[in-house]
Amino acid sequence: MKEEINEVVKRLVSARKVAVLTGAGISAESGIPTFRGKGGLWRNYNPTELATPDAFNKDPKLVWEFYNWRRQIISKASFNEAHRALARMEEMIPEFTLITQNVDGLHQLAGSKYIIELHGNIWEVKCTVCEGIYLDRSPDLGPMPRCRNCQGLLRPNVVWFGESLDYNILREAFEISGNSEVMFSIGTSGVVQPAASLTLEAKRHGAFLVEINPEPTPQTHIMDISFQNRAGEILPEIVNLMSCQIQT
């Protein structure tokens, strides 16, 4: 594994454009449950059935109960060593972009600055009437939160199953991936589209691909290097070595 880490560091030190794609696995190391992992059920409901426009239209109170539960869990979580290592990496790369499928905001808390949030942010709310969007980090917004401007019913400003991602955000993510010299895939299953295609886009344009995930994924075979480890173990080591080489 030492040789692989040294190779990744060598690529990073000489690279100008680096992209990173993160998924639920990096936040799982902070204790945030994933939809697809163990403990994925909430009150015997499958979250993938609750995080939909249809579920919200049918029973918004139930959906908000689920999201208030998630907000409470995330509000108690802290960014971990992997989040912090990526923030440090950003400081050493001329053009660094973090593309995340996560909605928890932990990358921002860790110090990352240039972030593309593919699936939105759980701390933002959107009015279903006036479509106003604003930040509210309250752990619990109550059973039926209302807009501060028009009193319309609020919803989490996240992309639900069955909804399309914002076209401009997705286009930027593909453009950055395609222009990257090195691209990381961290803590993501490699099956959720269209995010899973970002690494394919990077590969198509000649990027060096690095995967960090405890288990192999359907994309492991296209990676130049794949670490079957926790991101919190591998990333700090990579960044520490980067720092030493840049300083010397």
Which sequence positions are flagged as catalytic?
A: 119
Dist. CA 190–CA 199, nearest whole Å: 9
- As given in the structure block, the two tokens for residue 132 are 């106003």
Bridge partners (DSSP) of residue 125 are 134, 156
Enter the tokens of residue 169.
């955000």
Half-sphere exposure of 46 (CA within 13 A, CB side): 5
Tokens of 10: 């060598």
What are the C-alpha distances in Å from 178 to residues 11, 17, 117, 150?
17, 10, 17, 42
- Phi/psi of residue 30, each to 5°? -100, 5
Tell me phi and psi for residue 65, to 5 degrees.
-60, -40
Radius of gyration of the chain (CA): 19
Q: Which residues pair with 129 in a beta bridge?
A: none
